Amino acid sequence: MQHYDVIIIGGGPAGFQAALSARKSNPKVSIALIRKEKKALIPCGIPYVLHSLKSVDDDILPDEPLQKHKIDIIIGEVSRREDHTLQLSDKRQISFKKLVLATGSRPVFPSIPGVEKEGVFFVKKEYDYLIKLQGAARSSKNILVIGGGYIGVEIADELLRAGKHVTLIEMLPSLLATTMDPEFSSDLHAELENHGAKIILGCKVIQFTGKDQFDGADLDNGDHIEADMAILSVGYKPNLEIAVTFGLETEKNYGIIVDEYLRTSDPDILAAGDCALHKNSITGKASRVMLASTAMAQGRLVGSNLFRISFVKNFQGTLGSFATKVGNFSFGVSGLTELEAKELGIHYFTGEHDSVDRHPGKLPGATKIHIKLLFARYSHVLLGAQIRGGDSVGELVNMISVMIQKRMTDMEIDTIQIGTHPLLTSSPIAYPVINATSNAIEKWFHKTTEEL
Amino acid sequence: MQHYDVIIIGGGPAGFQAALSARKSNPKVSIALIRKEKKALIPCGIPYVLHSLKSVDDDILPDEPLQKHKIDIIIGEVSRREDHTLQLSDKRQISFKKLVLATGSRPVFPSIPGVEKEGVFFVKKEYDYLIKLQGAARSSKNILVIGGGYIGVEIADELLRAGKHVTLIEMLPSLLATTMDPEFSSDLHAELENHGAKIILGCKVIQFTGKDQFDGADLDNGDHIEADMAILSVGYKPNLEIAVTFGLETEKNYGIIVDEYLRTSDPDILAAGDCALHKNSITGKASRVMLASTAMAQGRLVGSNLFRISFVKNFQGTLGSFATKVGNFSFGVSGLTELEAKELGIHYFTGEHDSVDRHPGKLPGATKIHIKLLFARYSHVLLGAQIRGGDSVGELVNMISVMIQKRMTDMEIDTIQIGTHPLLTSSPIAYPVINATSNAIEKWFHKTTEEL
């Protein structure tokens, strides 16, 4: 029987990062990573397999960093455990001292009649499946995308770039409804439409049509959409089977219950990534956000908490920082939206600013930026931000992520020093984060709480 | 005689921002901005007038924001003051309650024989002069750029983009020697050379040749360089004449002496921008850094400290965050370089990382990123960063600027959550700031102070 000091189950971002952090904190222990897939995928890159990347092989998480850090890779499926021994479905037995579950998530399969037809695809994190999906998309002309979350929107955008006819259906009244305020999601909506997408909101598919091969969908508004294939992305749910088999405490649809050091109900088992229940860092509520960046943040903590607890290396809840690009605009979100703040009854005020991401604005490549910041009334702490702009939004949102996590107030941000460059950023006069902050301050400085 | 509650002298970034902040903090006072130039320039945009911008008019600071905030613009030159009354050179008299000096800086004119010849240009912040410079550059083929600081390097890059033959001369042993460590400046050097620049380091011009019209330069290494025109950018010095005339305390070559609320030795006069003496926020030493972004940071403070002091709205010294783009790479610097830390005897350790700014790295537009972070040994506080990468460096350096100003430690950065996107950022696994931090931590975690 093989033995490892540390075993990680799962080869996605959380598992990958957990293995590396285990090595960094523990230079001398033996470590193995067990995964089902021969090739592990970069999950956020999957939409880009449809057009921007040549092949699915361009979207692979490389094994080299694991090998370089002397982490054995075991391809296999864990079926059960007995005390500190894992049994694989091929009967191999492997024992461990400490175990990390990073079993990830999988797409939700809605029970729509006809969902099993040829030509109806999901966005699975599986190499062979994605090759099929890629092939089907490349040979199709009319494609129906179901689900207007980040993945659905990015798939629609990729397909449009590839010159496909795209119809996007979302059951909620706006795209990205749970993570973006309407004024931002409507910009994104318009941008997709400008590039040729047909978008249908507030509508459900009631059945997929066609004999064995999908040829269209009936909607609950009575319409019928013809298409060559359908791609569904209507949410993900955590893979909890192994955790349940192992007798760990879990919360259905949310994940394995872990403490702030990512320890499960078994003292020798930790969990990280989509399979671990995580709470929103501002609201404290269980979060359905599943982001590789959150998974990696957890993966980076696990290694330091395996054998002894490293105080400070704890997970303080999910911030939720998103970025995406659609057409010629990029969108970024960090922390709370205004909608969420309202729903939760959080007392807030906002600051906004419009700017351009070059200075002077006549420089080639300049894109308009719109930003909205949310601050807490009373404490003045930054709660959230949304930005629409050019490519620089990807890192701008990270500057804001740092500010939220450091609980910076509007008054601190107002005095911050930043760097600017004509070809790379907004002008210092029109720097979005600072100007939106100063807009927020102006409100409370001259108004009472009632007037705000 | 005209009267204003607040008068700002100077129409550059500091003056512009000071006027706006004066208005924001004091909605009801009367404000005027006095400047010499009919049109105020965006200083950092000046190099881009040579090629990327069509005309000098595309590099103008707009008057609209001032007008919109009811700030009168007075075109004129202040010659002297008597108590609270200014006299302009056209004899107009204007009285004030509070005065802000934002007189900026001008190029250093080295006393090289022949410097007065036709065809020898400086980078002046003057509209009419820049039109001449632009015209000369567009009709020249071989151009000599003297000075390898940011402006010289950016001018060289612009001229190369315009297809000119460029020779760049710098007296110090490397480009950007005072703000960038050699491994970064040598990358920038190589990038300029790859695009066709001839670069001569450690060398001075001893005379400009030609009859009345410049035709070349003799160097102190015995070489002669032929060229159609020369552009000199060998430093800037603060405009202190008005401050001296007004009897304010100044420090030659450094600026008007101000306290942390930007008040001069006269209680009713404040100063901001290049003309104000400012200290490095880490070393406490008088700084020669002149950045529009620093000037604006000061400009934003002035308004709140005119009539009453706003505690917290003080200037805590210059951080120094730079970004620039040369050829296909962008470069960013914030805080201390390793060279500076060594010179100052600061006990530090570094972390480095190499990455790509897209994920997967095979996505179109991906650029390699190299990052180096400097942390203080003992306190673990982040002291500085340097990055070479794609356009996202412009905002990445601002994320780091925030981290330095919030005195974040390596341990805090190690647990930070960020957002990532395939088309916009590095992968969460390879996120440069976090990985360089974790590289730094690995060193001290497994080594003693002596081994570091």
Model pLDDT for residues B58-84, shown as the tens digit of each residue? 999 999 999 999 999 999 999 999 999
**Which one of A294, A300, A418 has the shortest CB-CB distance to B401?**
A418
A2: confidence class by pLDDT, cuts 50, 70, 90? very high
- Which pLDDT belongs to residue A84? 97
Picking from B404, B410, B367, the residue whose alpha carbon sits closest to that of residue B386 is: B404
Cβ contact (<8 Å) for B417 and A314?
no
Angstrom distance (rounded) from CA B256 to CA B269: 11
A243 to chain B, minimum CA–CA distance in Å? 25
Angstrom distance (rounded) from CA A51 to CA B388: 29
In one-letter notation, the amino acid at residue A121 is F
B195: confidence class by pLDDT, cuts 50, 70, 90? very high
pLDDT in tens, B209-243: 999 999 999 999 999 999 999 999 999 999 999 99
**Which one of B333, B419, B429 has the shortest CB-CB distance to A322?**
B419
Mutation choice for A interface testing from B357, B396, B429, B447 by most A CBs within 10 A:
B429
Q: Is the pLDDT of residue A416 over 80?
A: yes
CB atoms within 10 A of CB A82: 9
pLDDT in tens, B352-399: 999 999 999 999 999 999 999 999 999 999 999 999 999 999 999 999
Domains B2-106+237-305 and B328-446 fall in the same CATH topology: no
Q: Is the pLDDT of residue B169 over 90?
A: yes
**Which one of A17, A58, A425 has the shortest CB-CB distance to B362?**
A58
Mutation choice for A interface testing from B25, B127, B274, B420 by most A CBs within 10 A:
B420
Structural class in CATH, domain A328-446 = alpha beta
The mean pLDDT of A329-345, rounded to a whole number, is: 97
Instruction: Tell me which range, A260-269, B291-300, B309-318, is most confidently predicted by mean pLDDT.
Output: A260-269
**Which one of A48, A401, A416 has the shortest CB-CB distance to B405?**
A416
Q: Which tokens in the block code for residue B274?
A: 């290049």
Global confidence as pTM: 0.96
What residues form DSSP beta bridges with A431? Answer: none
- Which pLDDT belongs to residue B446? 87
Q: Is A367 helix (H, G, I), strand (E, B) or coil?
A: coil
Is residue A225 within 8 A of residue A205, CB to CB? The reply is no
Nearest CA in chain A to B361: A58
* Structure-token match 């955008």, residue found: A157
Is residue B21 within 8 A of residue B301, CB to CB? The reply is yes
Q: Is the pLDDT of residue A258 over 90?
A: yes
- Which pLDDT belongs to residue B99? 98
A65: confidence class by pLDDT, cuts 50, 70, 90? very high
Is residue B4 within 8 A of residue B96, CB to CB? The reply is yes
pLDDT in tens, A122-171: 999 999 999 999 999 999 999 999 999 999 999 999 999 999 999 999 99
Cβ contact (<8 Å) for B406 and A411?
no
Q: Which tokens in the block code for residue A139?
A: 């040979």
In what helix (H) or strand (E) does residue B218 lie, and over which residues does it extend? strand B216-219
Cβ contact (<8 Å) for A399 and B399?
yes
- Which pLDDT belongs to residue A89? 96
The mean pLDDT of A12-16, rounded to a whole number, is: 97
Nearest CA in chain A to B319: A417
Residues 6+ apart with CB under 8 A from A338: A181, A348, A350, A372, A374, A384
Task: Determine whether domain B109-234 maps to CATH 3.50.50.60.
Answer: yes
Domain ranges for chain B, please list them: 2-106+237-305, 109-234, 328-446
Nearest CA in chain B to A396: B395
Cis upstream peptide for A360 (omega within 30°): yes
Angstrom distance (rounded) from CA A303 to CA A20: 8
Cis upstream peptide for B182 (omega within 30°): no
Q: Is the pLDDT of residue B452 over 80?
A: no
Q: Is the pLDDT of residue B449 over 90?
A: no
CB atoms within 10 A of CB B87: 14
Q: Is the pLDDT of residue A324 over 80?
A: yes
Task: Determine whether domain B2-106+237-305 maps to CATH 3.50.50.60.
Answer: yes
Q: In what order do the strands lie in the sheet with B224-226?
A: B205-209, B216-219, B224-226
**Which one of B330, B395, B414 has the shortest CB-CB distance to A396?**
B395
Mean pLDDT, chain A, integer = 96
Q: Is the pLDDT of residue B245 over 80?
A: yes
Q: Is B300 helix (H, G, I), strand (E, B) or coil?
A: helix
- Which pLDDT belongs to residue A361? 94
Nearest CA in chain A to B437: A300
Is residue A321 within 8 A of residue A333, CB to CB? The reply is yes
Angstrom distance (rounded) from CA A452 to CA A217: 47
B130 to chain A, minimum CA–CA distance in Å? 16
Mutation choice for B interface testing from A423, A426, A431, A442 by most B CBs within 10 A:
A423
- Which pLDDT belongs to residue A150? 97
Angstrom distance (rounded) from CA A262 to CA A96: 18
Is residue B66 within 8 A of residue B19, CB to CB? The reply is yes
Nearest CA in chain B to A397: B419
Q: Is the pLDDT of residue A452 over 80?
A: no
A348: confidence class by pLDDT, cuts 50, 70, 90? very high
Q: Which tokens in the block code for residue B67?
A: 């007008």
Mutation choice for B interface testing from A421, A435, A447 by most B CBs within 10 A:
A421
What residues form DSSP beta bridges with B217? Answer: B208, B225
Distance in angstroms between the alpha carbons of the first and the last residue of chain A: 68
A447: confidence class by pLDDT, cuts 50, 70, 90? confident
Cβ contact (<8 Å) for B323 and A419?
yes
Cβ contact (<8 Å) for B438 and A24?
yes
**Is pLDDT larger for residue A451 or for residue B99?**
B99
The mean pLDDT of B120-141, rounded to a whole number, is: 97
In degrees and rounded to multiples of 5, residue A73 shows phi and psi of -105, 125
